[in-house]
A and B are shown apart, each in its own frame.
Chain A
Amino acid sequence: MGLLKIATAGSVDDGKSTLIGRLLYDTKSLTTDKLKAIEEKSKQRGFDYLDFSLATDGLIAEREQGITIDVAHIYFSTPNKSFIIADTPGHIEYTRNMVTGASTAQASIILIDARNGVVEQTYRHFFINNLLKIKEVIVAVNKMDLVNFSEEKFQNIKNEIEYLATKSDFKKEQITFIPISALKGDNVVEKSTQIPWYQGETLLHHLEKIDTTLTSDHAKARFPVQTVIRPKTTDYHDFRAYAGKIYGGDFSVGDEVIVLPSLTKSTIKNIYFFDQEFDKATSGSSVSITLTDDVNISRGDMIVKVDETPTISKDLEATICWMDKEPLEVSQKYYLKHGVNDVQAKITNLSTILHTDFSGLEENPSKLTLNQIGDVQLKVSKSLFFDSYKQHKYNGAFILINPKTNNTVGVGFIK
């Protein structure tokens, strides 16, 4: 039994919320009281169908406008698997919230309205999935009932996305195409009787089959130190352990390690999880570690294996997705948060703005505005230890914080 994190993407009115509602309804994950509330509200609004978006659009403003503004996290499970779906907004102005929802996802569902085909927003969503290196993309061609379940319409969309994929890092086998009707329930959980030309699986069946061990990271082991545990009690007078979460790979007792930035070598002595000791801990575990040598380690330092050191530098190149109304301008200073490490950063150069339809670049722009994506060079106040995002999701991403407002204003993917 695994846990799969999924992000949805699509334009406004493509039916994302309806699809999620349908998944919940058909897997019997909606409780009777929630269903009753949806029935009542749908009736009150004069709909002759159940408006499942009422289950996910949790904010007053969303229900008023009938659109999704911010990410909602929806939970459901089948006997085989648990799912967390980030229902992210499709509106272009909420792109940052879409990136937020997709940043932790292992798989992504891009919804396309069969009537409209591939639109600008589809490019954008595909581009962001590519930028974030999502492992599995499902293109759900929705509203098939409104195009008479036309195979031709479906095939055209498939061809167009496959052509788009040739310009991206996606391999053909990472993309699955499914014709569905979220409103009527075709191929969502139940196999459609209306689409005999489609031989593939239903959406849920496909999601259940995604191997979560394959979609998780198999990167090099990184142990960023969050905090040092020093009880200073009589029982644990000299006890000193480094607490953090393992990202990528694993650590075992006896592993030779290097502590960054001091470059001190040592060996792992113990691995603790609460009151138990382990010989080995795998990626994703929040453990505490002790070393055989007395090394001076504090928050923000990183423990890695001797032959697996990351890049150590004060200069970095990255692709940035800008998330603030106030644009990014060259020579501005920001706080940069890389994992649990905080430094000051200055943008030294903004080289290009990337067009999210893969059509090309704009050279030497003066600024990066809200929801734009561009390539930058940065200088930081203290050496960082990083990998490229392609090689290590955790150790290759950072956020930028505006020191005046304390807001998270951008996310960076290190090259």
Chain B
Amino acid sequence: MSQKVLEVNALESEAIYILREVVAQFERPVLLFSGGKDSITLVRLAQKAFYPAKIPFPLLHIDTGHNFPETIEFRDKLVKELGVELIVRNVQDNIDKGRVKEEKGRYASRNILQTETLLDTIEEFDFDACIGGARRDEEKARAKERIFSVRDDFGQWDEKNQRPELFDMLNGRIELGQNVRVFPISNWTELDVWSYIEKEQLEIPSIYFAHKRKTFLRDGFIWSANDEFVYRDEYEEITERIVRFRTVGDMSCTAAVISDATTIEKVVEEIRDSSISERGARIDDSRSEAAMEKRKQQGYF
């Protein structure tokens, strides 16, 4: 008999362990799902953690309304295939109610507006744990975050007073009103995520692959030309380019990169050789040195 030995993929096993801790320690967890590569990876890990049982928590999409249509299409297909519950809450609703104010002008983005809708939704459903696909290699404030990150009832992160996190022991004890943001793939790098998607042959939205798109240039970034969502001055000229997206955020703050990677293998190769960081294409992070930390203090993911 040939022995079939499970070789450890340490990062995968760690993430599965974390997801199981969430379900064991919390009453009402939810997985934040944007349709991007990191949350797609999380969904796969959640599937593995509880198989053959179904994923024991719903997915939540805070919809900015400025999504790439390909991502939404993909989201709905995935949810249907997995038979999990999807909750969608719209930033637009809070704009309509006048609770948040939309930015205007050249760099307008709805990214920051998500926080308000997220906090409302946490309150609406009484979620005590929100699982997210953030990684410590993304940004230097993220590099400081714990795997179980406690937030107060305003969603605030107290970065100077975090709980020590030792060995594998995750302390999920919280008071009423607090909740925990959980980051199972904290220790993964962008390349780890792409390699995993390749190994697992996961489906991802088509915008991650090179395609022809109407774009314009500003400040060295390639913007998707979409007159409805993305502000453009008349002199900013629209050109068709072969591009792909490295990260999928709000259309108004996610820049494209020139690429001919049409398969997942080619994407992995491209990331391996890239000299630009993933967040280099997120326009909202270059606003100031502490942009991410400040957003997180206010309850942003």
Partner of B164, one of A233, A244, A323, A394: A323
Stretch touching chain A among B7-15, B61-69, B122-130, B224-232: B7-15
Interface residues of B in 152-173 (CB under 8 A from A): 159-160, 162-169, 171, 173
A401 to B175, CA, bound (A): 13
Interface residues of B in 1-21 (CB under 8 A from A): 1, 3-8, 10-14, 16-17, 20-21
Q: A99-B166, A399-B171, A406-B175 are in contact. Are A31 and B280 (CB under 8 A)?
A: yes
The distance from the CB of B200 to the nearest CB of chain A, in whole angstroms, is 10
**Chain A 208-244 against B: per-residue CB contact (8 Å), 1 yes, 0 no?**
0000000000000000001101111101100100011
Contact indicator B276/A31 (Cβ below 8 Å): yes
**Chain B 9-41 against A: per-residue CB contact (8 Å), 1 yes, 0 no?**
011111011001101100000000000000000
**Which residues of chain A are near B274, meaning CB under 8 Å?**
31
**Which residues of chain A are near B187, meaning CB under 8 Å?**
73, 75, 84
Which B-chain residue is minimally distant from A407 (CB atoms)? B163
Partner of B5, one of A61, A281, A406: A281
Stretch touching chain A among B84-92, B106-114, B135-143, B208-216: B135-143
A75 to B188, CA, bound (A): 9
The distance from the CB of B82 to the nearest CB of chain A, in whole angstroms, is 14
**Which residues of chain B are near A104, meaning CB under 8 Å?**
167-168
Check if B235 is an interface residue, CB within 8 A of chain A: no
Interface residue count on the B side (C-beta < 8 Å): 61
**Which residues of chain B are near A393, meaning CB under 8 Å?**
167
Main secondary structure of the interface of A (DSSP, over half): mixed
Contact indicator B21/A60 (Cβ below 8 Å): no
Stretch touching chain B among A110-118, A168-176, A271-279, A350-358: A271-279
Check if A339 is an interface residue, CB within 8 A of chain B: yes
**Which residues of chain B are near A55, meaning CB under 8 Å?**
140
Main secondary structure of the interface of B (DSSP, over half): loop
Which A-chain residue is minimally distant from B50 (CB atoms)? A229
Stretch touching chain B among A63-71, A121-129, A180-188: A63-71
Contact indicator A58/B163 (Cβ below 8 Å): no
**Which residues of chain A are near B166, meaning CB under 8 Å?**
99-100, 103, 397, 399, 408, 411
A285 to B8, CA, bound (A): 5
Contact indicator A282/B141 (Cβ below 8 Å): no
Contact indicator A280/B4 (Cβ below 8 Å): yes
Check if A283 is an interface residue, CB within 8 A of chain B: yes
Contact indicator A286/B276 (Cβ below 8 Å): no
**Which residues of chain A are near B20, meaning CB under 8 Å?**
226-227, 243-244, 286
The distance from the CB of B219 to the nearest CB of chain A, in whole angstroms, is 13
The distance from the CB of A20 to the nearest CB of chain B, in whole angstroms, is 11
**Which residues of chain B are near A252, meaning CB under 8 Å?**
3
The distance from the CB of B103 to the nearest CB of chain A, in whole angstroms, is 23
Contact indicator A411/B144 (Cβ below 8 Å): no
**Which residues of chain A are near B201, meaning CB under 8 Å?**
none
Partner of B186, one of A73, A77, A408: A73
**Chain A 393-404 against B: per-residue CB contact (8 Å), 1 yes, 0 no?**
110011101000
Most buried by A among B5, B50, B142: B5
**Which residues of chain B are near A411, meaning CB under 8 Å?**
164, 166
Check if B198 is an interface residue, CB within 8 A of chain A: no
Contact indicator A57/B49 (Cβ below 8 Å): no
Contact indicator A339/B168 (Cβ below 8 Å): yes
Stretch touching chain A among B51-59, B70-78, B93-101, B261-269: B51-59
**Which residues of chain A are near B1, meaning CB under 8 Å?**
279
Q: A84-B187, A411-B164 are in contact. Are A72 and B137 (CB under 8 A)?
A: no
Interface residues of A in 59-101 (CB under 8 A from B): 59-61, 63, 69-75, 77, 84, 96-97, 99-100
Q: A273-B48, A411-B166 are in contact. Are A41 and B24 (CB under 8 A)?
A: no
Contact indicator B164/A97 (Cβ below 8 Å): yes
Which B-chain residue is minimally distant from A230 (CB atoms)? B53
Which A-chain residue is minimally distant from B186 (CB atoms)? A73
Q: A59-B293, A283-B8 are in contact. Are A394 and B52 (CB under 8 A)?
A: no
Contact indicator B164/A58 (Cβ below 8 Å): no
Interface residues of A in 153-177 (CB under 8 A from B): none
**Which residues of chain A are near B48, meaning CB under 8 Å?**
273-274
A70 to B140, CA, bound (A): 12
26 pairs of residues in contact across A and B, judged by CB atoms under 8 Å: A34-B277, A70-B160, A71-B144, A72-B144, A73-B137, A73-B187, A99-B166, A100-B165, A104-B167, A226-B21, A227-B20, A231-B53, A233-B52, A235-B52, A273-B6, A274-B47, A275-B52, A282-B6, A286-B12, A286-B17, A286-B20, A340-B21, A340-B24, A399-B169, A408-B165, A408-B166
Q: 3 closest Cβ contacts across the A-B interface?
A: A58-B140, A33-B280, A286-B16
Contacts from B to A (Cβ < 8 Å)? 1, 3-8, 10-14, 16-17, 20-21, 23-24, 47-54, 136-137, 139-144, 159-160, 162-169, 171, 173-175, 186-187, 189, 274-277, 279-280, 289-290, 293-294
